[in-house]
Amino acid sequence: MAENKALKDHLNVAVATQGMLFTKLHQYHWYVKGKHFFTLHEIFEKYYDQINEYFDEFAERLLTIEGRPYSTLQEFIEHSIIKEKPYTSEMSQSEMVQSVIDDFKKIVEHASEGIELAGEADDPVTEDLYIGYKTDLEKHIWMLKAYLDK
């Protein structure tokens, strides 16, 4: 595997984005209310647990290839491809779900770029990590869209 700054930088953006997403999913988990509370409360928890696993895997992969993962909240805010969305009492369940869908779509695009970069860098381990992540998020998008179609 060749030295590849572009791949390390991309992985680091993925780390920052997962840090942001982890926090955002917690926020929705804590503040969701309404008739679908139990369903969404559980699904947001399932998602942040899964994101936490990927968060660690991406950071450790970056360390393995001699990168330095972002590790502060300020770095996450500065480098994440998704943005904070502070909760307001007017935020509906559907708005929360749509926000997660929108974030997942951005991350899927980013993961697609990572798959290409990892392939170009002859790094099948990182490529596989991105593929698994993209696959999981695409499935979540499908399910969340189905939820909104109720």
Q: Where are the domains of the chain?
A: 5-148
- Is 98 in contact with 148 (CB distance < 8 Å)? yes
Q: 128: which residues sit within 8 A by CB, 6+ positions away?
A: none
- Alpha carbon separation from 2 to 21, 59, 120 (Å, rounded): 30, 19, 9
d(CA 65, CA 88): 41
CATH 1.10.10.10 fits 5-148, yes or no: no
Closest by CA to 77, choosing from 15, 129, 25, is 15
d(CA 58, CA 16): 10
Q: Around Cβ 102, how many Cβ atoms within 10 Å?
A: 13
pLDDT of residue 150: 55
Regarding pTM above 0.85, the answer is: yes
- pLDDT tens per residue across span 134-150: 999 999 999 999 999 85
- pLDDT tens per residue across span 77-133: 999 999 988 878 888 999 999 999 999 999 999 999 999 999 999 999 999 999 999
Distance of CA 31 to the CA centre of its chain: 19
